[in-house]
Amino acid sequence: MLKVAILGGSGYTGSELLRLLLTHPNAEVTAVTSERLSGLLISDTFLHFRNTSLKFESLDLKTLTKKADLFFLCLPHKTSQETVAFLYNAGKKVIDLSADYRLKSAEVYKEWYKIPHLYSPLLKKAVYGLPEIYRKKIKNASIIANPGCYPTSAILGIAPIIGENFINTNSIIVDSKSGTSGAGRSPAQPFMFCEVNESVKAYAVTAHRHTPEIEQELSSISKKRINIIFTPHLIPMDRGILSTIYVRLKKKISLSDIHKLYHVFYRNEPFVRVLKNGMYPSTKVVKGSNYCDISVFLDKRSGKGQTLIILSVIDNLLKGASGTAVHNMNIMHGFDETAGLVSSSASP
């Protein structure tokens, strides 16, 4: 059994990781940290975890390195910088769910996160952990930068066509809507029930930190510089992301050919489902699962040329965070890729 530890286990992503790993056939959770809840039984804080006697403990890295071989980090950005470096230098493997190692440029990181990256040499060693794109690199990596939730839905939606010469790569619009769990468990006024209920609002327009992450990965896949327009929205539900992506086509192509392209691209992927023509993906259908559902539509009336409309949905806490982290662990250690992750979504 692979011994694993979760650093920052009291938040939404940390608790979802714990839920997945407690029943994983190849992993044993040996430590879970929380500064606020240190010393308390996990089962007393999260009542649904009655099958564990683990307690939360403080973030003492020297002690923790003796307890596990793989570390999942659910820590805030900046905090993860030093923690990843310490664990890497101690010979441990790390899957970091923060944004600290996703961007390859320390300058871009500082521009968007307003703090310097103090361990920039490690950025070159970190592998962006999107299994559908970087499976081979993930297998041999020591540091995995787990993708953000918005980028996961956007990149998976665009990846099959971003390298094709029939699209205008200068006109990509990503309109995403997310449930409130994407903001984390820490209380804040904008995410209180009375603020969110019966309301939909855009936020961080032109300034969301996931923008450079999406652009970086699309540029890497297409081998050309990609800029996008990305607008996130907060909607009154617990979890889930729906991204509606608009791409202008440079020449005519049939919807059936585009649909075939998507099917071929994802034909061997266990967690991406390309829906039949005319079907609409729904956040409720993927809730509590590690699936990304994708549909494509073609608007032939949009002035000169055509517009491809891509719908991509995920559970932001699973496929957008903890589920992909477990998927990465499975690849790194040669386990069945679907181990601990095959489950249907919750019924309505």
DSSP helix/strand/coil, 30: strand
With tokens 């961080």, the residue in question is 204
User: What pLDDT band is residue 193 in, cutting at 50, 70 and 90?
Assistant: confident
Q: Is residue 311 within 8 Å of residue 295, measured between CB atoms?
A: yes
| Residue 294 token pair | 């994708």
CA torsion, ordered 104, 311, 225, 101, to nearest 10 deg: 0
In the predicted structure, residue 61 carries a pLDDT above the cut 80: yes
Distance, in Å, from the CA atom of 177 to the CA atom of 42, rounded to the nearest integer, reads 32
Contacts of 284 (CB under 8 A, 6+ apart): 240, 345, 348
Beta bridge partners of 4: 29, 70
Angle at 264 between CA 258 and CA 269, to 5 degrees: 125
**Domain annotation for the chain: domains and CATH numbers:** 2-125 (3.40.50.720), 150-316 (3.30.360.10)
pLDDT in tens, 208-267: 999 999 999 999 999 999 999 999 999 999 999 999 999 999 988 999 999 999 999 999
Q: Residues of the chain with pLDDT > 70: what percent?
A: 95
Distance, in Å, from the CA atom of 73 to the CA atom of 32, rounded to the nearest integer, reads 10
Task: Judge whether 194 counts as a catalytic residue.
Answer: no
DSSP-derived letter for residue 319 is I
The per-residue pLDDT for 184 is: 65
DSSP helix/strand/coil, 3: strand
Q: Provide mean pLDDT across the span 77-88.
A: 95
In single-letter form, the type of residue at position 152 comes to T
Nearest to residue 346, comparing CAs of 292, 294, 283? 283
User: What pLDDT band is residue 305 in, cutting at 50, 70 and 90?
Assistant: confident
More confident residue, 214 or 301: 214
| Residue 46 token pair | 């999260």
The per-residue pLDDT for 45 is: 86
More confident residue, 182 or 118: 118
Tell me if the pTM is above 0.85: yes
The sign of the torsion formed by the CA atoms of 76, 78, 84, 89 equals negative
